[in-house]
């Protein structure tokens, strides 16, 4: 690969641009965020960069940073592709994003408290009751109960997309069990090992202290009345779960115990963990087990992943479960479509970060519009995740659109639709040089009675296939290190 100057890179990139590229802008001019990085990049030996790219993949394999994909090849283990060109955000851009993220997370917690108490937003006519009726994520067991510290969403992931220099939108809220933070941390560690000189040259906000901040935030949510340092455990479904690497990684980094349901039991009205010295009470459980499997006495009686009786201890206020059971209702895409009203209702402010325009297919007029414009829209299941159960109209065949039309007509309330956004692109490193690919961003937010703590940056997911808008790792996407520049 020949060495290329900035002008030559710019010309190469311009040919593959979306509407807005975060390195080269709308007109191909280098943006302020990437000015220092571009100077460094021009000084690098292309062959060295190719070797570094190969080293990164070997490092991820050696570390075991993989995830499981369920489908034709049951529990097939894959490496999440890593791209070594960072996604860079200026301090000014991050300030605005942080304000918007904090506002949204405050509204989500207030919304969840209201849903399980007086439902004032429904009484006020700002949220239709039908959005809750029949929603499996809404748990009657949580009615009239307030979690310790009043916190429902202890860890939140807010998925953001960008369409222009000052245009950011919230694509999804992840209030149940947001994943991916281990990749954010490993991406940064890999970059610092490969390019220490670059971090000396550029002042980048740290993310490596996230596990310490997570441990501190969870401990602050422990039930009152305990003595000494709160005991925190990470509850995992086990080694066959797609995110098991992350569960083990976070437990290790936090200094917490990694436990499965069989390691826990209710003893003297407390949830206790098996140790070599007998059963020890646990104060906070960071659970990565879905609601349905959390307690076989309350939910699915066939579950062997949870702890019999844990919900009774929880409702007695003697253990904290993070995130709280029932928070999944806030992940629902039908609820997402009402988030502008939700933010305004609970904060008294207009949303700083807007939603993507959304059509609720449960509404007759909206359904008619969506059916007439399927080829131009993205249609998603209201309970879907991971890029499954969706239609991306502009990249679908006539046969796929026709098949999806049948599903939509059969159960319209199961779907919402959105325009196909011209997502921003960031360059990735290829054998031919830099090439633009679409990206999104998942910042991670910690909530405790002491306040809201937002990690600077987050996980950038990238659609590695040219022209693709699907960034999910289960659908072939990769990840990047995300840099927030210091002032």
Task: Give the pLDDT confidence of 189-230 residue by residue, as tens digits.
Answer: 999 999 999 999 999 999 999 999 999 999 999 998 555 789
Strands 264-267 and 415-419: unpaired
- Other C-beta atoms within 10 Å of 37: how many? 19
Which among 451, 463, 437, 455 is positioned nearest to 149, based on CA atoms?
Answer: 451
Cβ atoms 201, 225 nearer than 8 A:
no
The Cα diameter of the chain in Å comes to 71
Cβ atoms 93, 487 nearer than 8 A:
no
Percent of the chain exceeding pLDDT 90 equals 74
Residue 154 corresponds to which tokens in the numbers above?
């202890």
293-298-299-304 Cα dihedral, nearest 10 degrees: 40
User: Per 3-state DSSP, what percentage of the chain is helix, strand, and coil (rounded to 5)?
Assistant: 35, 25, 40
What CATH number does the domain located at 359-419 have?
3.30.1490.270
Compute the distance between CA of residue 159 and CA of residue 97 in angstroms, rounded to an integer: 11
Instruction: Give 240's pLDDT tier (boundaries 50, 70, 90).
Output: confident
170: part of which helix (H) or strand (E)?
strand 167-174
CA-derived radius of gyration, the chain: 23
- In this predicted structure, the answer to whether residue 433 has a pLDDT above a threshold of 90 is no
pLDDT of residue 5: 36
State how far the alpha carbon of 425 is from the alpha carbons of 379, 457, 468, 474, in Å: 22, 16, 11, 20
State how far the alpha carbon of 374 is from the alpha carbons of 85, 89, 467, in Å: 35, 34, 19
pLDDT of residue 482: 98
Averaged over 471-480, what is the pLDDT?
77
User: DSSP class of residue 383?
Assistant: T
To the question of pTM greater than 0.85 for the whole model, the response is yes
User: Nearest-5° angle of CA 310, CA 313, CA 317?
Assistant: 135
Compute the distance between CA of residue 450 and CA of residue 36 in angstroms, rounded to an integer: 37
Which residue ranges make up each domain of the chain? 359-419
Residue that wins the pLDDT comparison between 101 and 62: 101
């Amino acid at each position: 690969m020949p060495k290329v100057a900035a002008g030559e890179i710019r010309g190469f990139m311009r040919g593959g641009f979306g509407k807005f590229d975060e390195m080269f802008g709308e007109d191909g001019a280098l943006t302020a965020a990437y000015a220092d990085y571009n100077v460094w990049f021009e000084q690098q030996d292309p062959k060295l960069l190719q070797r570094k790219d190969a080293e990164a993949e070997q490092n991820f394999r050696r570390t075991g940073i993989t995830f499981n994909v369920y489908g034709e090849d049951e529990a097939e283990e894959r490496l999440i592709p890593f791209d070594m060109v960072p996604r860079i955000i200026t301090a000014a851009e991050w300030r605005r994003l942080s304000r918007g993220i904090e506002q949204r997370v405050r509204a989500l917690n207030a919304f969840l408290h209201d849903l399980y108490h007086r439902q004032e937003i429904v009484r006020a006519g700002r949220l239709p009751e039908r959005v809750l009726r029949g929603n499996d994520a809404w748990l009657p067991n949580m009615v009239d109960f307030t979690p310790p510290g009043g916190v429902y969403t202890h860890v939140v992931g807010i998925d953001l997309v960008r369409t222009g220099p000052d245009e950011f939108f919230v694509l999804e809220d992840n209030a149940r069990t947001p994943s991916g933070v281990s990749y954010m941390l490993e991406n940064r560690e890999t970059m610092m090992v490969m390019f220490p000189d670059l971090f000396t040259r550029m002042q980048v906000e740290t993310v490596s202290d996230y596990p310490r901040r997570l441990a501190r935030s969870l401990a602050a949510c422990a039930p009152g009345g305990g003595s000494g340092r709160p005991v925190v455990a990470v509850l995992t479904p086990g080694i066959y779960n797609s995110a098991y690497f992350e569960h083990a990684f976070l437990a290790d980094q936090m200094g917490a115990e990694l436990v499965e349901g069989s390691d826990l039991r209710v003893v003297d009205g407390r949830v206790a963990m098996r140790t070599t010295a007998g059963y020890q009470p646990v104060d906070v459980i960071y659970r990565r087990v879905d609601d349905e499997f959390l307690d076989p006495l309350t939910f699915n009686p066939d579950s062997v992943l949870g702890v019999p009786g844990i919900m009774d201890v929880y409702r007695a206020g003697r253990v904290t479960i993070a995130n709280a059971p029932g928070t999944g209702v806030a992940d629902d895409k039908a609820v997402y479509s009402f988030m502008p009203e939700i933010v305004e209702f609970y904060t008294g402010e207009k949303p700083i970060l807007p939603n993507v325009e959304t059509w609720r297919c449960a509404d007759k007029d909206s359904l008619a519009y969506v059916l007439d414009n399927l080829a131009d829209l993205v249609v998603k299941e209201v309970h879907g995740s991971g890029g499954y159960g969706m239609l991306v109209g502009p990249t679908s065949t006539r046969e796929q659109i026709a098949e999806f039309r049948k599903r939509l007509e059969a159960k319209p309330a199961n779907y919402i639709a959105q325009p196909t956004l011209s997502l921003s692109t960031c360059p990735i490193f290829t054998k031919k040089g830099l090439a633009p690919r679409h990206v999104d961003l998942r910042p991670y937010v910690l909530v405790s009675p002491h306040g809201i703590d937002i990690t600077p940056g987050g996980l950038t997911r990238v659609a590695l296939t040219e022209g693709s808008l699907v960034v999910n790792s289960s659908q072939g996407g990769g990840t990047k290190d995300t840099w927030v520049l210091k002032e």
